[in-house]
Amino acid sequence: MKLPKAVTRVIEEFEKLPGVGPKSAQRLGFYLLHVPQSQLDSFAEALVNLKKNTVLCSICKNVGEEDPCWICSDPERNQDTICIVEDSLDVLAIERSGTYRGVYHVLHGVIDPLSNIGPDDIYIPQLLKRVQDNNLQELIMATNPTMEGEATAMYIVGKIKNALGDGGGPLVTRIGRGLPIGADLEYADETTINRAMEGRREF
Ligand SMILES: [Zn+2]
């Protein structure tokens, strides 16, 4: 059986998404054929506007609707403490826990040589500049406790010590235990995140 071109196109687009195999892509494609046109229009519109109506904060690289984002522009937040995370979902998770009052730096990934992702492919140079240009108190390394997350944190700390000298610069800490090895911050519950934040130790 030859599929209509319109269906094949949708299936091909779904296949490009992470975690969607050919079978799921086919199922989704055919599922959408049974959905009312108005719902399809609304789905398409949401996709079209996804990037048009969002910006990256020029300070912390978090995804938001304004630049600077609402966290960077909040006078109540402690701008001297930066929590470094892998992606915006981690910001969401830490914000949900409700106790952190500093600001963030979103890397948008981790160093991963196997996938050809180097330090310059994520927002590490921008972070180093931020650290050099501001008189910071503390840097909290909150990359995930995976191999890549640990390696990325180590790389950043090495670079900062190089740039600012061993004794100089902000206190650098790593979020504490409580998060299992290989865990993903974005799926952790509030209590675990709070415990990890409280249990952070000097890097
Ligand atoms: Zn920001």
In percent, the amount of the chain with pLDDT more than 70 equals: 96
Per-range mean pLDDT, top range of 31-40, 177-186, 194-203: 31-40
Q: Phi then psi for 55, rounded to 5 degrees?
A: -135, 155
- Ligand 1 centroid, distance to 138 Cα (angstroms): 17
CA of 140 to the centre of ligand 1 (A): 16
Cα of 96 vs centre of ligand 1, distance in Å, is 17
Residues 136-174 as b/e (b if ≥16 CB within 10 A, e otherwise) read: bebbbbbbbbbebbbebbeebeebbeeeeeeeebbebbb
Span 148-194, pLDDT tens digits = 999 999 999 999 988 887 667 899 999 876 666 667 778 788 878 88
How close is the Cα of 184 to the center of ligand 1, in Å? 22
Average pLDDT over residues 87-100: 93
Which residue, 137, 141, 121, 123, is CA-closest to 59? Answer: 123
Mean pLDDT of 127-150: 93
pLDDT value for 181 = 64
Residue-level pLDDT at 177: 63
Query: Cα separation of 145 and 193, whole Å?
Result: 13
> Distance from the CA of 29 to the center of ligand 1, in angstroms?
37
Residue 6 has pLDDT above 80, yes or no: yes
SS (H, E, C) the chain: CCCCHHHHHHHHHHHCCCCCCHHHHHHHHHHHHCCCHHHHHHHHHHHHHHHHCCEECCCCCCEECCCCCCCCCCCCCEEEEEEEECCHHHHHHHHHHCCCCEEEEECCCCCEHHHCECHHHCCHHHHHHHHHHCCCCEEEECCCCCHHHHHHHHHHHHHHHHHHCCCCCCEEEECCCCCCCCCCHHHCCHHHHHHHHHCCEEC
Is the pLDDT score of 27 beyond 80?
A: yes
The reported pLDDT for the residue numbered 178 is 65
For ligand 1, the distance from its centroid to the CA atom of residue 157, given in whole angstroms, is 21
Look at residue 109 in the predicted model and tell me its pLDDT: 95
Ligand 1 centroid–CA 4 distance in Å is 45
What does the pLDDT read at residue 121? Answer: 94
pLDDT of residue 176: 75
pLDDT at 201: 81
What was the pLDDT predicted at 38? 97
The CA 125 to ligand 1 mean position distance, Å, reads 16
Ligand 1 center to 34 CA (angstroms): 41
If you measure from the C-alpha of residue 61 to the centroid of ligand 1, how many angstroms do you get, rounded to a whole number? 6
- Is residue 96's pLDDT more than 70? yes
Q: Determine the pLDDT at residue 161.
A: 87
189-198: pLDDT as tens digits: 887 888 788 7
Residue range 36-56: mean pLDDT, rounded: 96
Rounded CA-CA distance 93/184 in Å is 10
Q: Which pLDDT belongs to residue 189?
A: 81
Dist. CA 196 → ligand 1 center (Å): 23
Mean pLDDT (the chain) is: 91
Q: How many CA atoms lie within 13 A of 81 on its CB side?
A: 11
